[in-house]
Chain A
């Protein structure tokens, strides 16, 4: 493709939809275990919901404000909206094919059946009657709609049944619309008694079959399910999908606010019924989306969680305890000898818990400071350690980012506990979201005060640490420690930002630092030296950095990017980006780490960061970038990034036209990075274990 043919950047919304399409691909991939495919199928939907609630909502907002300026891809908000809708329609068609044509039959082969209400055995019917009468009926609130009154509130994301009624007594009094919500607090799949097979029935179908019981004295002319997506008025989380977390931890929660962005309805709903619904809700035609298959497939998640189905899941890769931590030494002794790089979830999250626990118990520890962005909540072992430390009279400072969505209520209760224990709790930094992940432990030692540090790319959450790939560095390096003190003094408002030695902090110059690193490579390439950049992140959106990369590519820098999600950079265009290659890995773990490597004329520099290369991260968040300088960790990190560029199973390459294509194995050995990294680590562990520990046993004279 020639430079003049296409805009310099990809549209971020369409790029995100491409990412979600890759998630759906994992559901389609027959080489994946069945229940994992089901899981990806659900994730696809919950991701999409959130995308509509936030990003599509913001396009609506732009339209309303008559902001008509095209984006970097040359698309106006209206064009973007139309393109998004068209692509979603296509994807939903794929979804239905997948669900009906592949997933249900495959489940049936495993003796898991999801039945419609037609084919039930009498005993099962009886069971459902009993269940409906005793469990469901009491919580249902059918609402009959009076057209002279305001339309009742419809909660976003909830599934409803719409019903068209005609009075049996006075058929000429006019038909009316009624709605009933499928209760969100009950399992969306009702399990049915059966010998042998596991059988389920959708709760919405159970209710649908029994609508006459709800509208006595009326004739039901038509009925059908529908679901609204509303503007959630919040920031989009493209790191992993918040719903992902919610599904793992608790049930679904409905959100009640905002204008309607999308009305999904069962395909085949009567025109009359749909018309009344549409009028009542004030939804325009483009926001209608007919759906085949379940309106909300997420109840299927319970199948993925069923016990005893190991064969239908990935082979487990239990996280490994790093070898240095297997020795019987304290964490502080270990860190004094050298830095420890952790690569989760291959490496266990254990060392971080151990670090915090040791800090809480150690009598020489003076202070612990930590930024908690998203934790696993009240029973979090991290929070327990912090509480214990505070109770023991240590200075505990915790900065909690409450704007981390959905977790707010959960955060507040344990934050109060911490305060009561004597910790100093701060609730974020005004105007900025604190996204950096850092823990500082100050310890008094015979040689003087020493600081121990954990810096990471992922949240302090031991549950997601099993599912997200992240890097973390445990270190006692003096310069980093001093910088970390300065960083905490800054975010706690105790001091103006200091001059940092090694840390780089957003929004104070992180973009400039990255640009300078890119430019340095470009200068070296221009001077005829070998120059390359290797970087991994979740999203690449920032135009100034993309321009910097284009310039570096033109100067001859070889650039390899591993961008899991949105990538607005257009690779492989002659005269613009011919030296840039972009891959994306979507596999069993959610790729989440951010790591940047610069060749620097052979004196290779490696950085980890909490920040993606997005304006949001660089301008409106408190983020950190830090170097990994010790030889061992640095080498391991570079190798880990290399392996991902060798992936030819789960890696997709971004093409100049914005589509992605699987990287072909081409007869070479198949490499699946998320498996290979684990196997490499396992081999290293075995090697370490096979070396017998040296024991010094003094030989004594025999008497």
Chain B
């Protein structure tokens, strides 16, 4: 029998109220088949959001749960896994300690991911669950996940990613921030007021009022769908009418936690987070024009599993890149970029990248960084035309860009920064902060970006006019149908020394035969 262990995947999610693991198998038809699903309640969020750090007791409980999970992984012989931790660990002052303790006791390497990575994972999971489901290709869609520590909110326009953000609106965080209320009714009023405040903030950043579709996902809303309408584990999506959702959320809000536990046989933990979460969903729903709530069974774990699937890795990378670029363009628009220039530079940069990647030690995965840097290299102009490349670096690294981690944004910011003027130097702190491999990569990609940018000096290129030939000592750019290349040559002369330095080849611009 062929070794099938590579078809077995595990996704672990260390969240604010529980630690969960899904074990799945990739069928020969490249479909995910869920084998096992485990959940262990650990109140990490309660610790972090009230004390700022995770207590010894919770660390122990976490380690124990993960050690047990590892045992189940071993049962199936799973070796391919990814374990991620979200806000509760991310924001804890002792996050390094807990990760180390986990590694020591269970052998599992847990990775803290930031909000945008969390968004990317859940977004790909949501798309997966919606496949063949409700049609979101027309109009604006609001995706909401109210977790224990935070709410992730994403806007889609005609099915394409537009904007996303993570807001401090988690059910456990809300509970922790509330203190003691005189009565249950007062407690609910306080909760609603808190939620309303943050919803106002969300409205400032995201145009959620334009949404005509509303997709809700996360453990609490799935539990609600089960209670309200008997939705079962197998259903990927479940649609609830808007009025029914509101009515249901309000009726549950009247119940005390004890009553919820008794009425619906819930665990205390689930009962505690259910109402704050539902009220969050309800408050956001109220802002939209959606007539129903689409409850998706998506989870961050499904996103992780999709990532881990070997067969479709390439497809997903392409679709992910697509979403990332779409988000980068939204950011560009926000800073009033020159879209035509940005795209032309991107196209030329891609062409150079593709030609060079075989020999220059650059890898496919890095293309995305170059593309995003090309799109955003001039956004610093929004602040000032003086030293705008530095402003570009600043704006890029300080933005939330869907699907990109902080570290990746740092790389892209550096690439954009060196699209003009000074070359990387020991005195440039952000550059020096990168490790050696990263510095080499940034240099190579920045060198390409510089050349691409120089070529668009006159803003008169079309990509079809350009051909690249790599020779022993030089890279020749052959321009067809072009008579006078003086301006471009001039620009190139002052911008190509970096390229020569990094790749060891000169850049030469040459007229091609007309019509060739």
Given contacts A395-B75, A446-B1, A489-B38, contact A494 B68 (CB under 8 A): yes
Pair B72/A489 contact, Cβ less than 8 Å: yes
Query: Within residues 125 to 146 of chain B, which ones have a CB less than 8 A from any CB in chain A?
Result: none
Pair B39/A496 contact, Cβ less than 8 Å: yes
Given contacts A496-B40, A512-B265, contact A442 B25 (CB under 8 A): no
A424, A446, A449, A498 — most chain B CB neighbours (10 Å): A449
Which A residues touch B36, using CB under 8 A? 482, 485-486, 489
A364, A448, A486, A509 — most chain B CB neighbours (10 Å): A448
Shortest C-beta distance, A333 to chain B (Å), equals 15
Pair A449/B35 contact, Cβ less than 8 Å: yes
Pair A496/B68 contact, Cβ less than 8 Å: no
Query: Within residues 149 to 186 of chain A, which ones have a CB less than 8 A from any CB in chain B?
Result: none
Pair B33/A448 contact, Cβ less than 8 Å: yes
The docked-state distance in angstroms from the alpha carbon of A186 to that of B358 is: 91
Pair A395/B74 contact, Cβ less than 8 Å: yes
Query: Within residues 9 to 65 of chain B, which ones have a CB less than 8 A from any CB in chain A?
Result: 18, 25, 27-28, 33-41, 65
Tell whether B4 is near chain A: CB-to-CB under 8 Å: yes
Given contacts A449-B76, A509-B265, contact A494 B40 (CB under 8 A): yes
Question: Which residue of chain A lies nearest to B35 when distances are taken between CB atoms in the complex?
Answer: A449
Shortest C-beta distance, A544 to chain B (Å), equals 15
A424, A498, A499, A512 — most chain B CB neighbours (10 Å): A499
Pair B33/A442 contact, Cβ less than 8 Å: no
Which B residues touch A492, using CB under 8 A? 68
Pair B68/A366 contact, Cβ less than 8 Å: no
Which stretch of B226-234, B406-414, B440-448, B468-476 is in the interface? B226-234
Pair B35/A485 contact, Cβ less than 8 Å: yes
Tell whether B7 is near chain A: CB-to-CB under 8 Å: yes
The docked-state distance in angstroms from the alpha carbon of A447 to that of B72 is: 20
A395, A424, A442, A496 — most chain B CB neighbours (10 Å): A496
The docked-state distance in angstroms from the alpha carbon of A132 to that of B140 is: 99
Tell whether A444 is near chain B: CB-to-CB under 8 Å: yes
Shortest C-beta distance, A516 to chain B (Å), equals 12
Tell whether A270 is near chain B: CB-to-CB under 8 Å: no
The docked-state distance in angstroms from the alpha carbon of A166 to that of B76 is: 77
Shortest C-beta distance, A369 to chain B (Å), equals 8
Pair A494/B265 contact, Cβ less than 8 Å: no
The docked-state distance in angstroms from the alpha carbon of A489 to that of B37 is: 9
Given contacts A498-B37, A498-B39, contact A448 B74 (CB under 8 A): no
Tell whether A495 is near chain B: CB-to-CB under 8 Å: yes
Pair B75/A496 contact, Cβ less than 8 Å: no
The docked-state distance in angstroms from the alpha carbon of A79 to that of B449 is: 97
Pair A448/B7 contact, Cβ less than 8 Å: yes
Query: Within residues 401 to 425 of chain B, which ones have a CB less than 8 A from any CB in chain A?
Result: none
The docked-state distance in angstroms from the alpha carbon of A498 to that of B219 is: 12
Tell whether A318 is near chain B: CB-to-CB under 8 Å: no
Question: Which residue of chain B lies nearest to A497 when distances are taken between CB atoms in the complex?
Answer: B267
Pair B35/A482 contact, Cβ less than 8 Å: yes
| Residue from B7, B74, B76, B226 in contact with A499 in the complex, judged by beta carbons closer than 8 Å | B226
- Secondary structure of the B contact surface, majority rule: mixed
Shortest C-beta distance, B99 to chain A (Å), equals 21
Given contacts A444-B77, A498-B39, contact A508 B33 (CB under 8 A): no
| Residue from B1, B34, B76 in contact with A366 in the complex, judged by beta carbons closer than 8 Å | B76
The docked-state distance in angstroms from the alpha carbon of A36 to that of B34 is: 53
The docked-state distance in angstroms from the alpha carbon of A649 to that of B11 is: 60
Pair B1/A444 contact, Cβ less than 8 Å: yes
Which B residues touch A424, using CB under 8 A? 71
Question: Which residue of chain A lies nearest to B21 when distances are taken between CB atoms in the complex?
Answer: A495
Shortest C-beta distance, A476 to chain B (Å), equals 14
Query: Within residues 385 to 432 of chain A, which ones have a CB less than 8 A from any CB in chain B?
Result: 395, 424
Query: Within residues 436 to 452 of chain A, which ones have a CB less than 8 A from any CB in chain B?
Result: 442, 444, 446-449
Question: Which residue of chain B lies nearest to A512 when distances are taken between CB atoms in the complex?
Answer: B265
Which B residues touch A498, using CB under 8 A? 37, 39, 233
| Residue from B27, B71, B72, B267 in contact with A448 in the complex, judged by beta carbons closer than 8 Å | B27
The docked-state distance in angstroms from the alpha carbon of A366 to that of B4 is: 12
Pair A501/B232 contact, Cβ less than 8 Å: yes
Tell whether B503 is near chain A: CB-to-CB under 8 Å: no
The docked-state distance in angstroms from the alpha carbon of A509 to that of B267 is: 13
The docked-state distance in angstroms from the alpha carbon of A498 to that of B23 is: 14
Which B residues touch A494, using CB under 8 A? 38, 40, 65, 68-69, 71-72
Question: Which residue of chain A lies nearest to B3 when distances are taken between CB atoms in the complex?
Answer: A444
Tell whether A114 is near chain B: CB-to-CB under 8 Å: no
Which B residues touch A508, using CB under 8 A? 265
Tell whether A105 is near chain B: CB-to-CB under 8 Å: no
Tell whether B257 is near chain A: CB-to-CB under 8 Å: no
Q: Contacts A448-B28, A482-B35 given; 11 further ones with Cβ under 8 A?
A: A366-B77, A367-B75, A446-B1, A449-B8, A492-B68, A495-B38, A495-B40, A496-B41, A496-B267, A499-B226, A501-B232
List, sorted by A's number, 27 A–B pairs whose CB atoms are closer than 8 Å: A366-B76, A395-B71, A395-B75, A424-B71, A442-B75, A442-B76, A444-B4, A446-B2, A446-B4, A448-B4, A448-B27, A449-B35, A485-B35, A485-B36, A486-B36, A494-B40, A494-B65, A494-B72, A495-B37, A495-B38, A495-B40, A496-B18, A496-B267, A498-B37, A501-B232, A508-B265, A509-B265
The 6 closest A-B pairs by CB, nearest first: A495-B38, A367-B75, A494-B68, A395-B75, A496-B39, A499-B233
Q: List the interface of chain A (C-beta within 8 A of B).
A: 364, 366-367, 395, 424, 442, 444, 446-449, 482, 485-486, 489, 492-496, 498-499, 501, 508-509, 512
